[in-house]
Amino acid sequence: MTTAEKYVTAAYCAVFAMLLLYVVIIALKLTRLEREVDELAERTEAGPVEEPRERTLVG
């Protein structure tokens, strides 16, 4: 492998490594968002949490 070939390979590898890193970061972010959507859906399906009623003295 000549020096020029090594540099050209390095340039293309750098491009793909950076794009891959970007895609991985976006994928991780989307996974986190999906998890948060699931959590919110579970909370919504469970319904509103009832607040305890205040005790009033009768008589």
Q: Is 24 in the site for another protein (CB under 8 A)?
A: no
d(CA 23, CA 45): 33
**18 is a contact residue toward another protein (CB under 8 A):** yes
Q: Is the Cβ of residue 44 or residue 56 nearer to another protein in the bound state?
A: 44
Q: Quick one: which of 23, 21, 20 has its CA closest to 31?
A: 23
The contact set with another protein (CB under 8 A) reads 2-5, 7-8, 10-12, 14-15, 18-19, 22-23, 26, 29-30, 33, 36-37, 40, 43-44
